[in-house]
Amino acid sequence: MTTQIKGERLDIEPLSSAAFAPFGEVIEATPSSVRMINGGTTERHHALFVPEAAGEGARVVINMFRGQPRTFPYSVDMMERHPLGSQSFSPLSARPFLVVVAEDDNGKPGKPRVFLARADQGVNYRRNVWHHPLMALDVVSDFLVADREGPGNNLEEYFFESPYIIAEPTL
């Protein structure tokens, strides 16, 4: 039996650098990012994204997040953004995950877009980009996260009057 949740349905798009460009960078190995190092024994995929940390006393920190899997259909009733720093998510558990972002519409998020990130893709949300918190799929999943640490309020949340609905993703 399928659970019925009321709200506007959101389609899931494959994650690509071009589609995600308004929100940040897709973190993935590409031929254009390769530099051979260590005597030709290691591929370095260079400068895949640049973390942002604004404000006096701010710095970029690396964290590990352990995300609990979401249940579908899923109701997107809120979004968040970080005005003082970017935030990146790179999967450590070799699992796909969902990325939900929205363009700014006069200080609040517009209609969200949903991307399915492959197990070998990560994302970097630029400063002030509206996004949903981490969305692991099927099983508990670990992520390497580059984030801002320091003084100042680096979290803004917005709650929608009517939620948006994500159906069960096809993996």
Give the count of domains, the chain.
1
How far, in Å, CA of 96 to CA of 73, rounded?
A: 17
Q: Which domain holds residue 147?
A: 8-166
CATH of the domain at 26: 2.60.120.480
The answer to whether residue 3 sits within a structural domain is: no
Q: Which pLDDT does position 167 carry in this prediction? A: 93
Q: Is 152 among the domain residues?
A: yes
Distance CA 87, CA 147 (A): 5
pLDDT value for 171: 78
**Does residue 1 sit within a domain?**
no
Instruction: Show the tokens assigned to 74.
Output: 């899923």
**Helix, strand, or coil here: 59?**
strand
Q: What per-residue confidence (pLDDT) applies to 110? A: 98
Q: Is the pLDDT of residue 156 over 60?
A: yes
Residues in the chain: 171
Domain assignment present for residue 171? The answer is: no
59 pLDDT higher than 70: yes
User: Average pLDDT for residues 76-86, to the nearest whole number?
Assistant: 98
Segment 3-58, tens digit of pLDDT: 667 889 999 999 999 999 999 999 999 998 999 999 999 999 999 999 999 999 99
Do the beta carbons of residue 76 and residue 99 sit within 8 Å? Answer: no
- Does a structural domain hold residue 2? no
Residue 1 clears pLDDT 80, i.e. is over it: no
124 and 87 Cβ atoms separated by less than 8 Å:
yes
The model's pLDDT over 92-146, given as tens digits with 9 standing for 90+, comes to 999 999 999 999 999 999 999 999 999 999 999 999 999 999 999 999 999 999 9
